Structure 1
Amino acid sequence: MDQLFVNFCVMVTFAFFRSFTFITAQHTDAAALQAWRAAITVANALLLCHYGLVVQGVSVDLGNAPIAAFAFSNGPLAALAAAAPLLAYRAVQAPTDALDAVMSTLLSIVAVMVIRTLRRHHGPPTPLEGVRNALGLFAVATLPAFLPAVSGQRSPADLWAPYLTEVIGSALALNIITAVMRAHFQVVHKTERYRTLMQLDPLTQLFNRRKFDEDIQQAPSPAYLLLLDLDHFKRVNDTHGHDAGDEVLRVTAQVLREAVRESDRVYRLGGEELAVLLAPCAAEAARGIAERIRRNVEQDVAARTGLPEPVTLSGGLMAVHGDQRTLLRAVDALLYTAKAAGRNRIATAPSTPAPVVVPGDVGERRPAAEEPVMSPARGGAAGG
């Protein structure tokens, strides 16, 4: 019983070690992490083999359990590679049982592949089905234990106790490893969900100010910051109610997500103030995306929300450089320049090229180099 207790302590400890290498819920990890998992599996199997039991004069160990668990998550080839040191150790320790050990390990990996195939067709097993599958797996994999009876070296009656001990012990070990991994992934999933919720604005599902502060510090170069503010948003709330205002914010967020690229990120900084981090992005592309956002908001938001008057926004666009406080102060000044110029337009830092004029746009003016560059606006509301 002492040896059996040591076996399960070793197995549980290494199961936790292996689970800690899964940092995210996705299994697409770096090669270094994959190598660590293989090394942990090998060490676990070797220790379980070293602290094996002797039942009626027959050596029994649970070394195939971590190999089977590794085969479930990494496939047969990786499992065979992980099993090689275990098979070599068994061959050195008990040369006469080497064939039994090789056949048992190969059968366990083949059985895992059969179970994996069935899972793809029938979905993941229930806990009870998992116990049944593990018992079936090792009932097949441990059959080479009866080879001494076939050769006449031992009586079959003498081999039943070692056989059942290894089958039940290995099945229990595999289920404990699976339970440890499942519990760890539940924690990882919840942690990722909570982390995501901490980074999202609950109304618009855009990234929030906390996430913005993190991203702006790590933005790849070249990057551009577009600061946006809905025009006359207070008027929308006062005239149509706060529910209508919330709907305008939700739809505006949707329009912004549709207008940007996959690499860009959209944030709600607070109230009706939004931001878009364009990274990596060239100057011409940044200016084009900013103008597309302005145009799409003007054309789509009122139509989607059912408001009788157009919804527009103003913005400031600037290359990301220097410290965050100075950058925000500068781009905020550009935003209010756009507001003062009549709203429904984007003010751009002089170093950012103006967009190509689209036929039909009116009122285009190229200021002097030291002035902010204004995007064309179609009938932007003036005043207030």
Structure 2
Amino acid sequence: MLRELFFNLCLLISLHYLLRFTFRSWPVPRRGWRHALRLSALAAAGLILMLFPAPIAPGVQVDLRAVPVAFATLQFGPLAGVLVALPIMLYRALLGGVGLYAALPSLLGVIVATTLMRRVVPAVGPLFWRHWPGVIVMFAFNGVPLLFLPDGPQLFTQVYPLLLVMNVLGALAAWGVLSERFHVLRLTSQWQSAALTDALTGLGNRRQFDLDLEAMGPGDALLLLDVDHFKRVNDTHGHHVGDEVLQEIARLLEREARGRDRAYRYGGEEFAVILRDVKGDGLNRVAERLRSAVERHALRATGGTVTVSVGGAGWAALPLRQLVQRADEALYAAKHGGRNQARVWGIWSPTQGGDPASRTVLRRPQP
């Protein structure tokens, strides 16, 4: 029995090593087809382990099938544990034998114990091994139903201690492989977030803006916003107040923009908003709403009025550099037209005449 369980242990670790490559991002998604495939892979791992059992009596065999079930329960919850356990239970029912009456309760006991231990043992992470007492509790019930089989006490004494040790060692080793993967994914996610997020406002930074700009398509639009007289705010109230103003404007942009849009800190006191699927006069309305929101609410830090000028341009099958240039020229027109206003690059039509590459129609949107 020791030899068969040791082979099962090696197979368990190998299967989890392969499983680690299915985790590609952090946080780990808990829904969708990728999640379903991952649960299917865990169930398949349990079934493969059952192909190489340690037979201990006619109709009674043991293996480490409970480890993938416990992992699914610990990481994704009891429902996931049940979904992973179902194919394993069905296969064990097909095998039949008296051991069936111990196998099914044992697996259900692992799900229940792991569910209870989720409050104590954290999801698999870099320091997971420190919680080994909790892992023992997860597998403590596994094998106990052997007591109710014929010659149960003898079988229990023969099997239970070794099975518990192998389950705990297998869980710590196999989940340790996944913990290392999760640690790398978590760090990578943090580094990517830091590289693409403005530290002061929490908005996407210029690098994130450039990446998202490349993904713009028909129906999308761009707004550029510049804080009016921002140097005066810094000189009068200090740079810490200027930082508070920028943070407040960032919050307003995230709150007032539509859910599918995204705001960025484009430069020092400049912001950008990429609008997705803008219809009709939507670009004018959003531009004016953002301008008006700043005028109404970005007052707390200075005790006065803070305003922004807004320039916008819609996607028109042009090079992205030209789209940004059009929005920037609209912003320039707004600032030199008196500030605290929004202007949008108008759409050129052949009836206007002239060179379409050099013609702009800038208009003040209605609130």
C-alpha deviation, 1:136, in angstroms: 4.1
Find the partner of 2:361 among 371, 374, 377. Answer: 371
Change (3 A) 1:275 1:106: same
Larger Rg: 1
| TM-score w.r.t. length of structure 1 | 0.77
Q: Which moved more, 1:5-14 or 1:225-234?
A: 5-14
Report the counterpart of residue 249 of structure 1 in structure 2.
246
1:271 Cα offset (Å):
1.5
- Report the alpha carbon displacement of residue 211 of structure 1 after superposing the two structures with TM: 0.9
User: What is the match of residue 35 of structure 1?
Assistant: 37
Alpha carbons of structure 1 residues 281 and 107: separation in structure 2 relative to 1, 3 Å: same
Distance 1:259 1:43, change over 3 A: closer
User: What whole-Å deviation, never above 9, does each CA across 1:167-219 have from its counterpart, x for those lacking one?
Assistant: 22123223334444444333333322222222111122111111111112223
| Structure 1 residues 69 and 105: alpha-carbon distance in aligned structure 2, compared to 1, 3 A threshold | farther
Query: Does the 8 A contact of 1:108 with 1:138 survive in 2?
Result: no
One-letter amino acid matched to 1:8: L
| Cα 1:376–1:304 shift into 2, 3 Å | farther
8 Å CA contact 2:221, 2:274 repeated in 1: yes
CA drift at 1:61: 2.1
CA gap of 1:210–1:218, structure 2 versus 1, over 3 A, is same
Q: Percent identity?
A: 29
Question: Paired residue for 2:356?
Answer: none
What residue is the counterpart of 2:313 in the other structure?
Answer: 318
* Aligned mates of 1:133, 1:246 — CA distance in 2: 47
Alignment partner of 1:166 is 2:156: no
**Equivalent pair of 1:222/1:280 in contact (CA under 8 Å):** yes
Query: Which position in structure 2 is the counterpart of 1:361?
Result: none
Please tell me whether residue 350 in structure 1 is matched to residue 346 in structure 2: yes
Q: Which moves more between the two structures, 329-338 or 125-134?
A: 125-134
* Structure-2 residue corresponding to 1:227: 224
Instruction: Report whether the alignment pairs 1:294 with 2:295.
Output: no
Per the alignment, in what secondary structure is the counterpart of residue 227 of structure 1?
Answer: strand
Decide whether aligned partners of structure 1 residues 346 and 110 sit closer, same or farther in structure 2, where only a CA change above 3 A counts.
same
Confirm or deny that 1:328 pairs with 2:324. yes
Q: What is the one-letter code of the residue matched to 2:109?
A: V
CA contact (8 A) 1:16 1:180 kept: yes
Aligned partner of residue 186 in structure 1, secondary structure = helix
Give the 3-state SS of the residue equivalent to 2:278 in structure 1: coil
Could you tell me whether the CA contact under 8 Å between 1:71 and 1:109 is conserved in 2? no
Q: Secondary structure at the match of 2:191?
A: helix
Q: How many residues align?
A: 346
Given that residues 145 and 159 in structure 1 are in contact (C-alpha distance below 8 angstroms), is that contact kept between their aligned partners in structure 2? yes
The root-mean-square deviation of aligned C-alpha atoms, in Å, is: 3.3
CA distance in 2, matches of 1:330, 1:287: 15
CA contact (8 A) 1:104 1:143 kept: no
Please tell me whether the aligned partners of residues 204 and 265 of structure 2 are also in contact (alpha carbons under 8 angstroms): yes
Secondary structure class of the residue paired with 1:270: coil
Letter in 2 for 1:87: R
Distance 1:37 1:277 in 2: 37
1:135-169 residue CA offsets vs partner (Å, 9 max, x unmatched):
3444423134342305xxxxx44652323211221
Aligned to 2:27: 25
Note the 1:1-384 alignment, pairs <5 A. 3-22=4-23, 23-38=25-40, 40-53=41-54, 59-72=61-74, 73=76, 74-84=79-89, 86-87=91-92, 91=95, 98-101=97-100, 103-117=102-116, 119=118, 124=122, 131-146=132-147, 147-150=149-152, 156-157=153-154, 160-219=157-216, 221-301=218-298, 303-308=299-304, 310-321=305-316, 322-351=318-347, 371-375=361-365
Q: What displacement does 1:26 show?
A: 4.2
Q: 1:313 to 1:157 in 2, by over 3 A?
A: closer
